[in-house]
Copies of this chain bind each other. A is one copy, B any other.
Amino acid sequence: MRLRDTSEGELLARIFPIYAGSGHVDEASVPVGPGDDAAVVGAPGGTVVATTDSMVRGLDWRDDWSSAHDVGVKLAAQNLADIAAMGAEPTALLVSLAADPDLQVSWAEDLARGIASLASRAGAPVVGGDLSGAPAGVVVVSVTALGDLRGRAPVRRCGARPGDVIAVCGSLGLSGGGLALLHRGEGTLSDAVWDEPGCSDGGGRGSDAGSSRSAAVRELVTYHRAPVPPWQAGPRAGACGARALIDVSDGLVTDLTRIARASEVGIDLDGTVLRERFAAGSLTVALGEREAWHQVLTGGEEHSLVGAFAGEASLPPDTDRPWVVIGRVLPLGSGGPHLTVDGEVPGDAKGWDHFAR
């Protein structure tokens, strides 16, 4: 069944229960949920953190690379990461879908299930949204995420100071590596790599097959399709006094340069740690050493958190997804550079731009 075969009301009647089933919502957290002119969401800290991100079929995903569920997970994840990068806890999501009426209703339902799965894990229910038609072939999905700081100050990009350590929570380069593989035709939804043993967990991560190249390909592509960044680490970092935070959306070098510019400091990264802790393993197995290193520095859409802390003792004691020190903050020399790796300006580190392709 396609969207044009149903009415807006019938479609909402299918999608509301998917979101409603994504977790317990109490009256204080969400006084008014979907179905009225607007939602009302608790803002106990007296402010609300808000961000929005969109995904466009054919540009931000390809249907032969990503399922609707993947798209939902990814879009929710990147919005949750932006909330986390302010040091805030997510409280609610709003979802807009503009779609060709020829789109399958089941696609819209799977999209909702993907969003709902992360909404449930994050404790941030879907409280509203919008449905629109769109020209033939077009599907655009937008999510707005709201968050609460619990009365703490937001963690800006501008707070890093010389002497701080730079630390990352989560992976680097997996999403960019997965994208590079998909561009080569590896790991697409029809690829036999998904039929191999050890794949039942969806990515082979940590399985016995982890040392094989197929498992590495699956791990990278799975992360690219449906990243699950450590958004829980954001408010914990804020509570521990993080000086600056950002999520890795356009590549480590690009995003840390944003912190360095906003803070008017220099940042020097430790190439040895980055190679040993992030480039080695699946990235190198799947892509080779040179491309793995490139992805660690420049791979976008990872949505891990990276930031500046007053010292190693200030790092949040997160045993599940530990913070790894990858560099330090320096005084900015006249004219820069803002970012170096082992004291050198990285040569091949262009970030992502949405229009200049």
Contacts and interface: CB of A to CB of B under 8 A. Distances in A.
A42 interface: yes
A54 B355 contact: no
Contacts of A31: 47, 154
Q: Can you tell how many copies of this chain the complex includes?
A: 2
Contact of A98 (B43, B56, B146, B247): B56
Interface string A2-13: 011011110100
Interface in A70-88: 81-83, 85-86, 88
Given A40-B149, A94-B51, A59 B356 contact: no
Nearest to A88: B38
Interface string A32-76: 100011111111111111111111111110000000000000000
Place the interface of chain A in its size category: 35 or more
A50 B59 contact: no
A94 B144 contact: yes
Contacts of A24: none
Contact of A85 (B6, B38, B53, B145): B38
B4 A247 contact: no
A355 to B, nearest CB: 5
A135 interface: yes
A258 B18 CA distance: 22
12 contacts: A7-B356, A8-B356, A32-B86, A37-B81, A38-B50, A38-B83, A39-B50, A43-B46, A44-B46, A56-B135, A60-B132, A98-B140
Interface of A: 3-4, 6-9, 11, 31-32, 36-60, 81-83, 85-86, 88, 92, 94-96, 98, 101, 127-135, 137-138, 140, 142, 144-147, 149, 154, 156-157, 245-247, 353-357
